[in-house]
Amino acid sequence: MPILKYGSRNRLVFFLALIALSFVALYLVTRPLAERFAVVAAIAWATLIIVYMMYRWRSIPPVYDPQLIELRHLVELQPLVGGAFLPFSGWAMSPNDLFRLVSTIQVEGYRTIVECGSGVSTIAIGRLLRQLGSGHLYSLEEDKAWHDMMAATLAAEGLTGVVTLIHAPLEPYPGADAGWYALEGARQVQAGAGHIDLLLVDGPKSVATYSRYPALPEFTGQLDENSLIVLDDTRRPNESAVLERWRAEFPLRIEDQPDSPRGQAYIRLLPRS
């Protein structure tokens, strides 16, 4: 079929659609037997198709193909995000970055996590903490409609015991040109969290240059050299400017993630002398 010629973009799209459709079909067929079995069977089937594609497409090293890597990570994330549906909007963290983040949480033993901006990552981290049997996620969200949808999803997923979701509309904040989360919400997080192992800065929506700047100065008193700060979307001009401003005001060690589709920085405070 000429439209599906070897190595073409159409061929790649065709096989990605085939994986998605076969995953859903197998899940729906096996779900009446047992939901857990259905998820495992569907993931195994999708993985087999991916391995077949990687074997067949030798002229394009598929192991390094960004689209296939993203697809593989999305499949591997299914145990953490497969139960709940939330839109992967333009603000959502990419599957590559989310996979690396939850892997880091598990390997490093981070248990007290603060998140600026809720979404798919909230469900994934909440499920992981529940699976690990300890830890808590505090999530700030400025949008009331999105907060209400997230709250309903967390309740349906049985995650309210490990996730505290706080509606904090934007208010004026020194140094933030579009405002930041209401300080009442931030104080609620500070009171509950104590020492923060991981601070994830993926909100508020980046509508101005320093929309996300206040996260580090606001929570720095609860961070130390053992804490990890993750700033998402660093390839965008606004987040790049925030990162440079943090670098100028705080002693930081910054590790850029070069394989991140939209840019992501892993940041640590240098030891206080």
Query: What are 129-177's pLDDT values in tens digits?
Result: 999 999 999 999 999 999 999 999 999 999 999 999 999 999 999 888 8
- Domain range annotation of the chain: 2-76, 95-269
Q: Which residue has the higher pLDDT, 95 or 211?
A: 211
pLDDT value, residue 214: 96
Residues contacting 106, CB < 8 A, separation 6+: 128, 132
Query: Residue 110: its pLDDT value, please?
Result: 97
Q: What percent of the chain has pLDDT over 90?
A: 57
pLDDT digits (tens, 9 = 90+) for 70-85: 655 555 556 666 666 6
Choice between 248 and 14, residue whose per-residue pLDDT is larger = 248
**Nearest C-alpha neighbor of 141 from the set 129, 158, 153:** 153
pLDDT at 148: 96
pLDDT category of residue 1 using cuts at 50, 70 and 90: very low
Phi, psi angle pair for 187, to nearest 5°: -65, -35
For the range 67-74, what are the long-range contacts, defined as Cβ-Cβ under 8 Å and sequence gap of 24 or more?
67/12, 67/16, 69/96, 69/259, 70/94, 70/95, 70/96, 70/261, 71/16, 71/19, 71/95, 73/98, 73/99
Predicted confidence at residue 62, as pLDDT, reads 47
Q: What is the pLDDT of residue 123?
A: 92
> Can you state the angle between helices 66-76 and 9-30, rounded to 10 degrees?
10
Query: Is 252:270 a contact under the CB 8 Å cutoff?
Result: yes
Class of domain 95-269: alpha beta
pLDDT of 2 strictly over 70? no
Higher pLDDT residue, 235 or 65?
A: 235
Strand order in the sheet with 112-116: 163-167, 136-141, 112-116, 198-201, 228-232, 264-269, 252-256
The pLDDT of 237-250, averaged and rounded, is 96
54 DSSP 8-state letter: H
Residue 109 pLDDT: 96
Q: Across the chain, what does the average pLDDT equal?
A: 84
